[in-house]
Structure 1
Amino acid sequence: MTDLERYCTGLLDGTIPACRRMKQVAERLLEDLASPGEFHFDPDIAARHIGFIQRFCKVPSGRIGAPLRLELFQRARLEAVFGFVDDNNLRRYNEVLVIEGRKNGKTTEAAAIELDLLVNDGEGAPQIYNVATKLDQARLGYEAAVRMRQMSPMLAKHLRKRVSDIYCPMNMGFIKPMASNTSSLDGLDAHAATIDELAAIKNRDLYDLVKQAMGARSQPLLFVITTNGFVREGIFDAQYKYACDVLDGKISAPRFLPFLYELDDRAEWDDPACWEKANPGLGTIKSRAYLAEMVQKAKDDPSFKPTVLVKDFNMPQTSESAWLRWEELNNEATFQIPFDYGIGGFDAADTTDLNAAKAIFMRPDDPNVYVRSMYWIPEAVLEEARRTGSRRERDNVPYSLWVEQGYMRTCPGRKCDKQIFLDWFRELRDREGLYMLYIGYDPWHIDDSLLRAFQAEFGPDSMIPVRQGVATLSQPMKDLAADFRDHRVIYNNNPVDKWCLVNSEAKSDVNGNIQLVKTLDPRRRVDGTAALLCAYTVLQDKKDLYINLN
């Protein structure tokens, strides 16, 4: 029996604690072993790579210089990565995503794989990159490979350490660290790359460039290692969702192999019997006693708990200062309920900021708040990225994609005419029969002429000013947060809504009153949350009258 079979069987029969996602991985791999198609499993090829690593690579830290003895889960993973090949012995998998709790040996394993791919993969002039957002992070994996080379007499004999890389004279290949400098990444001819800490990357530009740099190689390998993180709706969440869709059979991606180690439920975080689900190296690579200390510290210090949930158990979180936790704001429910009446709200920008509008709805005997949204951004914002050829969009979010998907619209020029709000609410009324009884707005940003235009369309009493201060917003914010915690706010899983909610922070005064505040980072927009609060504040005030009409 191979290590791959032994490990996957253990995951499925309960011998090895496993989350639902890893059980899905095990089922797929065992099925591929039993029923080969275009790709079959070659144990000799898998053994060649694992044998190289265990023979020549040394532990780069801790028990420095000791032979690197891979654990069962690592050997099984490498058997899967290297062992499935076609009739020409070319690898099946060209991308591997590994999400594990911290300190489970990801960086050491990746460094060993890089050395193996450099000298033991039969590739001419292999370019191998260790990539991260910052050069210091990229150097962590690279320096692990440097130390492995230094401590192995055979590797030190045949590989040269140059100023900026590890060079192999036999095949003219190298291993090099590289940060997210798009100009230096363009034009690469990568045979392999490791992306370290995908969750720290704030836009997908780095990932896309590395992925595209492998197109000329016959069997490239992109090895992505990461824990979860605090950056939401970025490349990590996109790749995680992609991996889940692959495992659920929603997407066919035969060359993509995910390993998702996580808890099935965040309530398991203080149950030692579940810890191995997110930490496959627990007790061998990662200290069980130290993890127990971290869990106890998180119990004693609630401000530390989000870090433990994210980094040790791969549970998504927002930052400690966020208004809502990820598990509170994340609601993937959708609705297609017909409504006749709604309550609107909008947040207008005076410059090139985001503009947001909401229409919210409720029904009798239904506690849910249903939300429709629209966003606008000046066309000049997108045009600037196209003109400069930059793949990095403003605010590190995919505005162009959101426009294509219909979540957002563009306005000509460098700022949006506030007429867009009136036009959208009128569009809901005329095209869909959704009539706004009341519309909440911040009077600071609306002039008298637009206000009169709204009143002419929706009635003289339709426009309700919502001033942006604690006196007006504190109680609505608290009530809205309670609705989010109960998952009663259904916003059709709108990614722009979710991004704004993730960015939202609350400031509290000495009396316990709260209000929405923008963060110090101007890229973290909260306009969608502000528009929702305008509508929700009016809903609270007019709820009895409104509910009786639906």
Structure 2
Amino acid sequence: MHSYLIEYYEKCKSGEILIGRELMMQLEMLMEDMNNPIYRFDTAEAHKRIQFIEKECKHSISPFAGHPFLLELWQKAYLEAKYSFYMMIEGKWLRRFNRTLLVIGRKNGKTTLCAADGLAEFFCGNTGTNILCASNDYEQAGLVFDEINNMREESPKLAKVTRKNIKGIFMGNPKQKKKKGKFSYQNKAKIKKLSAKTGAKEGKNVDKAIVDEVHEMKDNSLVAPIVQSTSTKDEAMVDEITTEGFTEDGYLDEEMKEARKVLKGELHRPRRLYWLYTQDSETEVWQDRKSWVKSNPNLGVAKKWHYLDDLIEEAKTNSATRAFMLAKDFNFKQGSANAWLQDAEIINAATFNIEDFRGAFYIAGNDFMETTDLCASKLLLMKPGDKTVYFYSHYWIPEAKLKLSPDDVDYRQWERDGYLTIVEGNSVDSSVVADWQFKLLEEYDLKPFKSGYDNRFAKDYINRFEEIFGKDILLNVPQDAKVLNNPMRRLEADLRDKLVNYNNCYGDMWCFKNTGIKLDALGRMMPCKMHTTKRIDGTAAAVVAYAVFDWHKSEFLQLIGG
């Protein structure tokens, strides 16, 4: 019988199909194993599932909704690899692979493929097959489950012998309760979903589990109980499917370390299959458009070339897009802190005289210190008809911290330059920031329109500020990606376009250079430290100021006559 796996390998080997080194290493190991007497290679069960998918399963999502699911060669090869290898276990020839890991760029149809695989197992597998769709949260787990159900409903033949309720999908039609056989109530096969937050993960007796987006998991608290629940089954399989992500030292990190050791021959894991669509280098992403198919095997089929073309161009000038794209489209792990801006984008020698803003209104952004951090306040100022944002900054640091500080900066020079106050003792009372702002009111008639702050460590500032300026000016700016994403993106764009004049303040420039970005699962960013000893308080204050500016832009511009 024809082997899709061998066909795929030969086309990859010849260069007709382009794949990365890691997948080629796995394919070469599988080719060698075909001639290894400890394994048997029989495609019957794999081809039964492939034929079922192409005959019975239909797409449910535009632009292919209602069309038969015709598998690509890579998909057939993947399914054949999973189901065609057997090894002698406890005196029986049993299916070899019980754990698989598929890493693939987003929008390459992994959810649809795994849903079709799950539905095929439901019908082609043993009577009483127990299938589990799992993920870090219930909504994500529902994606594969819902797609399985969509395929079930699209086929009159499958819908006729199955049913769905709030507990799951089950074999048997309520109108044919007396019917006997595999496709009746006699068969207790079921498909359910499970999240990491669900209790009682043990005792599920799973035949097949599809664990989606494992890159979000911090540990194996979801996967381990699922694997344990397969222990009573001869031919159970746990499929883990994912893109790369941002979770530092997470579950996927350990899985990928082990996978790479196995592929290099440093570890022996005969029952694990690693199907990794990864690039060979980040450089090729930017320089070789053809290489994109290494992490996107469905590029040109489900995923569009023009989509990646546009994304690459945006990523060249947008740090969050770059980090998110490299993780999600090209499977490069992104650390918890990725560089925000290049030095050339930050440096701006432009200066201004604060006297020019005498009598003006400003928006303040404040970041209050935690232990050894700086305390920072920035006044965001603007001129009528001028798109430039002017930052007038000041910093505070406890004198006791100077001796302990690992920073490679001369805080005494900052003090001599006039933008740092060294405070006696071990900490900074945040009320000094309100006093500084009051001093600017006295000296330059600078008046706060709004003042943004983070709740942490702000109590003394709030009390003092309200005594001086009243209650209606203060605004709390929560420090999370949902709030900070848009203002940080706008600040980034303005810095690149040299529309931020920070008066050539070295402290501001230093903080900007130290800043990394941390992305959440939706690609929203917020500032974080690139290094634990490098401070970013000036950046945090600037982002807070931009957040307040976003919320009250029209009022502020009207106030200043813009």
Specify if TM > 0.5.
yes
1:317 aligned partner: 334
Residue 145 (1) aligns with residue 148 (2): yes
Structure-to-structure mapping, 1:257-272, within 5 angstroms: 257-270=273-286, 271-272=288-289
CA distance in 2 between counterparts of 1:41 and 1:198 reads 29
2:316 aligned partner: 299
Asked if the contact 1:166–1:174 (Cα under 8 Å) also holds between the matched residues in 2, the reply is yes
CA distance in 1 between counterparts of 2:149 and 2:38 reads 37
| Change beyond 3 A, Cα 1:101–1:160 | same
The C-alpha deviation readout for 1:357-392, integer Å capped at 9, x for no partner, is: xxxxxxxxxxxxxxxxxxxxxxxxxxxxxxxxxxxx
What is the aligned counterpart of 1:101 among 99, 105, 128?
105
1:110 aligned partner: 114
How far 1:6 moved relative to its partner? 0.8
2:84 aligned partner: 83
Residue 290 (1) aligns with residue 291 (2): no
Asked if the contact 1:128–1:193 (Cα under 8 Å) also holds between the matched residues in 2, the reply is yes
Letter in 2 for 1:466: S
CA distance in 2 between counterparts of 1:467 and 1:125 reads 63
Secondary structure, aligned partner of 1:246: helix
| Change beyond 3 A, Cα 1:168–1:251 | same
Asked if the contact 2:230–2:236 (Cα under 8 Å) also holds between the matched residues in 1, the reply is yes
1:174 aligned partner: 190
Asked if the contact 2:339–2:530 (Cα under 8 Å) also holds between the matched residues in 1, the reply is no
Query: RMSD across aligned C-alpha pairs, in angstroms?
Result: 3.4
Secondary structure, aligned partner of 2:95: coil
The C-alpha deviation readout for 1:192-235, integer Å capped at 9, x for no partner, is: 11111111122221122222221111111111111111112111
Q: Any gaps of 5 or more consecutive residues in structure 2?
A: 173-181, 343-369, 372-396, 415-487, 496-500, 520-525, 536-562
| Change beyond 3 A, Cα 1:23–1:113 | same
CA distance in 2 between counterparts of 1:75 and 1:474 reads 66
1:242 aligned partner: 258
Structure-to-structure mapping, 1:521-540, within 5 angstroms: 530=532
1:23 aligned partner: 24
Asked if the contact 2:340–2:517 (Cα under 8 Å) also holds between the matched residues in 1, the reply is no
CA distance in 2 between counterparts of 1:286 and 1:2 reads 26
| Change beyond 3 A, Cα 1:142–1:474 | farther
| Change beyond 3 A, Cα 1:161–1:248 | same
How far 1:239 moved relative to its partner? 0.6
| Change beyond 3 A, Cα 1:111–1:286 | same
TM-score by length of 1: 0.61
2:206 aligned partner: 190
How far 1:324 moved relative to its partner? 10
Secondary structure, aligned partner of 2:111: helix
What is the aligned counterpart of 1:465 among 398, 404, 429?
404
| Change beyond 3 A, Cα 1:118–1:465 | same
Asked if the contact 1:191–1:214 (Cα under 8 Å) also holds between the matched residues in 2, the reply is yes
1:128 aligned partner: 131
Q: Whose Rg is larger?
A: 2
How far 1:12 moved relative to its partner? 1.9
1:159 aligned partner: 162
Asked if the contact 1:130–1:176 (Cα under 8 Å) also holds between the matched residues in 2, the reply is yes
| Change beyond 3 A, Cα 1:92–1:321 | closer
TM-score by length of 2: 0.60
CA distance in 2 between counterparts of 1:187 and 1:311 reads 34
Asked if the contact 2:46–2:83 (Cα under 8 Å) also holds between the matched residues in 1, the reply is yes
Aligned length: 368
1:209 aligned partner: 225
| Change beyond 3 A, Cα 1:471–1:287 | same
How far 1:520 moved relative to its partner? 11
Asked if the contact 1:306–1:320 (Cα under 8 Å) also holds between the matched residues in 2, the reply is no
CA distance in 1 between counterparts of 2:330 and 2:413 reads 33
2:50 aligned partner: 50
The C-alpha deviation readout for 1:113-159, integer Å capped at 9, x for no partner, is: 1111212112x422211111111111111110010000011110111
CA distance in 1 between counterparts of 2:159 and 2:529 reads 56
Residue 38 (1) aligns with residue 38 (2): yes
2:73 aligned partner: 72
Asked if the contact 1:199–1:227 (Cα under 8 Å) also holds between the matched residues in 2, the reply is yes
CA distance in 1 between counterparts of 2:406 and 2:309 reads 48
Secondary structure, aligned partner of 2:199: helix
Q: Any gaps of 5 or more consecutive residues in structure 1?
A: 326-348, 351-441, 447-462, 476-505, 534-550
Letter in 2 for 1:68: F
| Change beyond 3 A, Cα 1:445–1:228 | farther
How far 1:303 moved relative to its partner? 3.5
Asked if the contact 2:99–2:271 (Cα under 8 Å) also holds between the matched residues in 1, the reply is yes
| Change beyond 3 A, Cα 1:20–1:159 | same
CA distance in 2 between counterparts of 1:473 and 1:16 reads 61
How far 1:162 moved relative to its partner? 1.5
How far 1:468 moved relative to its partner? 7.2
Asked if the contact 2:86–2:96 (Cα under 8 Å) also holds between the matched residues in 1, the reply is yes
Asked if the contact 1:106–1:225 (Cα under 8 Å) also holds between the matched residues in 2, the reply is yes
1:6 aligned partner: 7
How far 1:257 moved relative to its partner? 0.2
How far 1:181 moved relative to its partner? 2.5
The C-alpha deviation readout for 1:302-324, integer Å capped at 9, x for no partner, is: 43111111111111213576679
Letter in 2 for 1:230: F
Letter in 2 for 1:37: P
Asked if the contact 1:187–1:213 (Cα under 8 Å) also holds between the matched residues in 2, the reply is yes
